[in-house]
Amino acid sequence: MSATRLVKSKTNSNFGLTDVVSINDFSRKDIEAVLAKAGQMEKTNVSKKQKILAGKTVASLFFEPSTRTRLSFETAIQNLGGKVIGFSEVGATSAKKGETLSDTIRMVSGYSDIIVMRHNIEGAARRAAEISKRPVINAGDGANQHPTQTLLDLYTIKKEFGKIDGISIGIVGDLKYGRTVHSLAYALALYSKVRLFCIAPESLKMPEQIIEDIEKKVQVRQTDRFEKFLPELDVLYSTRIQQERFPDPVEYEKVKNVYILNKSNLKNTKKNFRIMHPLPRVNEISTDIDDTPAALYFEQARNGIPVREAILALLSKVRK
């Protein structure tokens, strides 16, 4: 019971997945295939890329609001010459009338060649992939997975440092509820000699399940202070502490300002030290860092386009 993989003879690429649902379905080869393709996409003019999805329709189903992910997917689709159909909020759909996701997906897979979807229900993308005749890309399912964010994070690290093996990375903030850090931790476990520092207050610590799964593959340290480890890090991956995840506003007030990075934190860091963030940020990275070489987060957001183009291009050849 795992994700569907392509029979190798059907594809010339090292990419073997029929859908992009969870980073846990990826082998290192699959990830490398996406990163290599993203590198190609970045070097190719839009006019030359138009053939890739020419005559194809991509359904963009956002049952939950999104800015960056939806816009970057839709830009990527247009850069590749594809047509976009879909919606950006559930209010305008039959789901509002009580239609099941399964029925919506059966219908949409008859209208489109690839489905990109975000849903607040966990496992929605896996269900969609199971019944859709067309490849499905998960653009976020509740607190569960957001694999394309992880792939663009890895692409950003690879592009900046030339490698992912051997990297020392601190992830800071909400490690309990943040799906991006969970997926990133699993992906880093596919690389060798990675050192992972999990920095969070007790109430937002990385779930034990994830630590158990990855600690044999990467060196994990858990701490609630980041200052001490900053000189050891190549990357600090900061995340927003999400107010909407806290049932108790008092608990949120206690932790919201615990990890704020400002320019003075950069003094004792490595020369090539970089800060990443999946955005949107609130106050966790002070704006005085934006103009320093350490700020990699806007570049990271830009990398969403070539990475999503790469995924669309790889899946455009898939027959399920």
Partner 1 sequence: MKEKNPKIIHITPIKEGTAIDHLKPGTALKILEVLNLQDVAVTAAMNVESRKMGRKDIIFIDGKKLNERELNKVALIGKGGTLNEIRNGKIVAKKQLAYPDRAEGIIKCINPKCITNTEPLPTKFSISGEPLSANCFYCQTRMKGNEIANSII
How far is Cα 23 from Cα 19, in angstroms, rounded to an integer?
11
Q: Which residues of 147-157 are buried (b: 16+ CB within 10 A; e: fewer)?
A: bbbbbbbbbbb
Closest CA to 172 of 148, 205, 142: 205
For residue 292, the minimal CB distance to partner 1 (Å) is 37
Contact in structure between 176 and 205 (CB atoms under 8 Å): yes
Q: Is 69 one of the catalytic residues? A: yes
Residue closer to partner 1 by CB (options 120, 257) is 120
Strand (E) or helix (H) holding 86: strand 83-87
Query: Which whole-number Å values give the CA distances from 166 to 88, 124, 233, 235, in the listed order?
Result: 40, 35, 11, 12
Residue closer to partner 1 by CB (options 25, 284) is 25
For residue 122, the minimal CB distance to partner 1 (Å) is 4
Is 121 near partner 1 (CB under 8 A)?
yes
The single residue of 37, 70, 127, 146 carrying the catalytic annotation is: 146
Is 1 near partner 1 (CB under 8 A)?
yes
CB burial class (10 A; 0-12, 13-18, 19+) of residue 31? buried
For residue 141, the minimal CB distance to partner 1 (Å) is 8
- Angle in degrees, 0-180, between the axes of helices 28-43 and 304-316, rounded to the nearest 10: 110
Q: Is 146 one of the catalytic residues? A: yes
How far is Cα 201 from Cα 255, in angstroms, rounded to an integer?
7
Closest CA to 17 of 151, 184, 143: 151
Which one of 79, 112, 145, 149 is in contact with partner 1 (CB under 8 A)? 145
For residue 281, the minimal CB distance to partner 1 (Å) is 26
Is 22 near partner 1 (CB under 8 A)?
yes
How far is Cα 254 from Cα 112, in angstroms, rounded to an integer?
47
Count residues near partner 1 (CB under 8 A): 19
**Window 49 to 108, contacts with partner 1 (CB under 8 A):** 100-102
Helix (H, G, I), strand (E, B) or coil at 117: strand
Which one of 49, 70, 118, 126 is in contact with partner 1 (CB under 8 A)? 126
Is 7 near partner 1 (CB under 8 A)?
no
Residue closer to partner 1 by CB (options 125, 204) is 125
Q: Is 119 one of the catalytic residues? A: no
Residue closer to partner 1 by CB (options 126, 158) is 126
The single residue of 18, 37, 49, 69 carrying the catalytic annotation is: 69
Stretch that binds partner 1, among 69-77, 110-118, 139-147, 254-262 (CB under 8 A): 139-147
Per-residue tokens: 20: 């992009």
* Torsion angles phi and psi, residue 230, rounded to 5: -55, -40
Q: Is 68 one of the catalytic residues? A: yes
Is 142 near partner 1 (CB under 8 A)?
yes
For residue 320, the minimal CB distance to partner 1 (Å) is 17
Residue closer to partner 1 by CB (options 206, 295) is 206
Contact in structure between 101 and 117 (CB atoms under 8 Å): no
The single residue of 5, 68, 163, 302 carrying the catalytic annotation is: 68
The single residue of 118, 158, 182, 308 carrying the catalytic annotation is: 118
**Window 222 to 261, contacts with partner 1 (CB under 8 A):** none
- Angle in degrees, 0-180, between the axes of helices 101-108 and 124-131, rounded to the nearest 10: 40
Which one of 4, 11, 13, 24 is in contact with partner 1 (CB under 8 A)? 24
Residues designated catalytic: 68-69, 97, 118, 146
Site residues, partner 1 (CB under 8 A): 1, 22, 24, 100-102, 120-124, 126-127, 141-145, 209
